[in-house]
Structure 1
Amino acid sequence: MSLDLLRRGMKISHLRLLAELAKHTRLTDAASALGMSQPAASRLISEVERVAEADIYVRSGRGIELTDIGHKLAERCVRILQEFADAGRDIEQHKSGQSGHVSIGSVTGPAIEYVLPAIRHVRLSYPDISISVEVGPSLDLAPMLEDGRLDFSLSRVPVDEDPDLFEERPLLREPACLVARTDHPLTRLAAPVPAEALLGFDWVLPPVGAPIRTTTEQALRDKGLGLPTKVLTTSSFLFTVTTVQRTNAIAAVAQSVASSFAENADGSPGTITALESDLTLSVETYSFLTRKGQVLTPVARIVAREVLRAITGETILA
């Protein structure tokens, strides 16, 4: 029979303290963040241990460390408090009509190919909805989604994250390609450019473990080739594109990114070009991610519906 924490006396003040302890290693810091004294915080944590019938923390040289039970409880407290915050936003949005703010996270490819056109449509149909977009690797987006800084994301669950913390709806694989500046020496070779010729130049790649880097390295291995010996590693998309534009380096990017930079708005050639090579790249499937048990606010639901419609062509969220 499971513990009924509410009946045993769990309170909002307990939840708030545990949520702060998930971020701080010192009880005094957690207490200060909540505007209470350390003795008051100590009393609350003792009450939590009584309610949970388990040790929540242990003392260490750095302050305190949550036990495994403490970590699990703190994670749930963060999510519960975020739901309260979302409920407040929900109420305000219902009062004011279809207005409010939505925060989206996305890896680069779908951000350019799907999120951008969806936002254009939302702005025309719902001018009172404001939107912010965080574009980055899944490794950075997952903790932002987990702690409520994002309403949803188009990304992947990183291997070191607990998948049980997220609701995951798989969407599409992300086609990728190699790019170079428009007058790069490789563009003068007959297509498809052999993979061996690619290894004679500098490469720009994201950090080890990033999906597009893993995909690129595996594609080279499948060809029986070694890995690039001259690699500039960066997680910055802007730095990647700038390096490719100004040097002989080549880079692996999402196909939609390459298409966006290959042609200007007036139809003239852009500053980089996709290299037609015999190295086929396709990054693992990305998903529509939300926090486990999360209920999207009305405006987040509107925006999510438009994003998913852009990707699938169907109305998935009613």
Structure 2
Amino acid sequence: MPNIDPIERFFRSGLKLPHLRILVALADLGQVTRVANAFHVTQPAISKQIAEIEEAIGVAVVTRSGNKLELTAIGKVIVACGRDVLRHLELARRDVSALAAGTGGHVRVGAVVTVPDPLVANAVELFLRRAPAASFSFVEATLDRLLKMLEDGDLDVAVGRNRITSTLVPVKHETLLRDPFVFVAGAAHPLGAPDRQPGWADLRECRWITPQRGSPAYTTLIATLDAQGIVPAASSVESSSLALNLALLQRGDFVSILPVSIARSHAIRANMRVLPLPAIERLGEVIAHSRADVSGPATELFVQCLVEASSELQDD
């Protein structure tokens, strides 16, 4: 029988999930005592698992530095791959749990136009994979309209950019992303020239595309401009259509605000410029709102899918 390299033997049959979990935890926590506490076992038990790994592959995976253990280059490789393995196992667990539960029903979701497109799309894909017996519907509107639909029972989840507390029904909030608004101008606009360094004063004579009057985004933008002595001209446009706003911006007649995720993608294509002005952080959160009093299993599953999809977007 041919001799098998100990490293190959370890990865074929010796590697166990506890090995990966312990090494990943050690990379995060740095000390055996902390890892032992996290797993609710004794310190010798963790040391034994590490020794098993090193004995099996014949090389060190950790080195001691005072009271702290540090991963060797080989240990870091195992940890990096181990994180991916554990992540995929967790995704499989969620899929199997949802399928075993037989989650069904209809989930009605609404979002403002400035929510990054992949967020809802990826969440829907996850949701329908985990709950194939369920159905889904989607609407796009301003946040005030979505929250009214949520209050009236016409919507299960509203995804927007403000944490609203003054609602007629109890509402739960789940922060998904940080994606602040930035000031933008089309490449054809005078402020869009890369050699210009515009300040607030340069915006006073500009034509604006603003969110619709009465929306939280409109109120926040107007307050931001008012603090700089800027009043949008009478010839400005109020619009909740992202497609229209982008088309008007690219023609070079207007300035506006966009989420940084959208603005950067157009700036990369050189048809828009992010102006060197402070971002509007108050609009930076992307938040899922859902009813706290009538939330069913399908709704809760969809919110979980939104959280997972947002995590993947941030990792990218």
User: Which of 167, 172, 176 is the matching residue for 2:171?
Assistant: 167
Shift of 1:194: 1.6
Shift of 1:100: 4.1
Measured at CA, do residues 307 and 274 of structure 1 come closer, stay the same or move farther in structure 2, by a change above 3 Å? farther
Measured at CA, do residues 309 and 127 of structure 1 come closer, stay the same or move farther in structure 2, by a change above 3 Å? same
Q: Partner amino acid for 2:302? A: V
> In 2, distance between residues paired with 1:287 and 1:96?
27
Q: Which has the higher helix share?
A: 2
Measured at CA, do residues 135 and 166 of structure 1 come closer, stay the same or move farther in structure 2, by a change above 3 Å? farther
Measured at CA, do residues 126 and 96 of structure 1 come closer, stay the same or move farther in structure 2, by a change above 3 Å? closer
User: What is aligned with 2:114?
Assistant: 109
Q: Is the 8 A contact 1:203 1:251 kept in 2?
A: yes
Shift of 1:158: 6.0
> In 1, distance between residues paired with 2:273 and 2:117?
16
**CA deviation vs aligned residue, 1:120-151 (integer Å, no higher than 9, x gap):** 33345555543222222111101211222211
> In 2, distance between residues paired with 1:118 and 1:169?
17
Shift of 1:252: 1.4
User: Which of 234, 241, 252 is the matching residue for 2:239?
Assistant: 234
User: Which of 197, 200, 219 is the matching residue for 2:224?
Assistant: 219
Q: Is the 8 A contact 2:181 2:259 kept in 1?
A: yes
Measured at CA, do residues 123 and 179 of structure 1 come closer, stay the same or move farther in structure 2, by a change above 3 Å? farther
Instruction: Return 5+ residue gaps in structure 2 as ranges.
Output: 1-97
> Aligned to 1:109, what secondary structure does the other structure show?
coil
User: What is aligned with 2:277?
Assistant: 278
Shift of 1:261: 4.2
User: What is aligned with 2:150?
Assistant: 145
> In 1, distance between residues paired with 2:294 and 2:216?
26
> In 2, distance between residues paired with 1:181 and 1:127?
43
Aligned length: 211
Q: Is the 8 A contact 2:116 2:262 kept in 1?
A: no
User: Which of 100, 122, 146 is the matching residue for 2:127?
Assistant: 122
> In 2, distance between residues paired with 1:149 and 1:94?
26
Measured at CA, do residues 186 and 106 of structure 1 come closer, stay the same or move farther in structure 2, by a change above 3 Å? same
Name the TM-score, length of structure 2 as normaliser.
0.56
> Aligned to 1:253, what secondary structure does the other structure show?
strand
Measured at CA, do residues 140 and 261 of structure 1 come closer, stay the same or move farther in structure 2, by a change above 3 Å? farther
**CA deviation vs aligned residue, 1:202-246 (integer Å, no higher than 9, x gap):** 1110233323333333333333x3222242122333332222233
> In 2, distance between residues paired with 1:132 and 1:126?
14
Q: Is the 8 A contact 1:212 1:252 kept in 2?
A: no
> In 2, distance between residues paired with 1:260 and 1:122?
27
Matching of residues 185-224 of structure 1 within 5 Å:
185-190=190-195, 192-223=197-228
User: What is aligned with 2:309?
Assistant: 310
> In 2, distance between residues paired with 1:247 and 1:132?
36
Matching of residues 18-37 of structure 1 within 5 Å:
none
Instruction: Return 5+ residue gaps in structure 1 as ranges.
Output: 1-92, 264-268, 314-318
Name the TM-score, length of structure 1 as normaliser.
0.55
User: What is aligned with 2:290?
Assistant: 290
Identity %: 22
User: What is aligned with 1:45?
Assistant: none
> Aligned to 2:281, what secondary structure does the other structure show?
strand
> In 2, distance between residues paired with 1:152 and 1:109?
16
**CA deviation vs aligned residue, 1:260-292 (integer Å, no higher than 9, x gap):** 5445xxxxx26x424222243223455432224
Shift of 1:174: 4.5
> Aligned to 1:165, what secondary structure does the other structure show?
coil
> In 2, distance between residues paired with 1:168 and 1:192?
42
Matched, 1:253 2:258: yes
> In 1, distance between residues paired with 2:273 and 2:129?
33
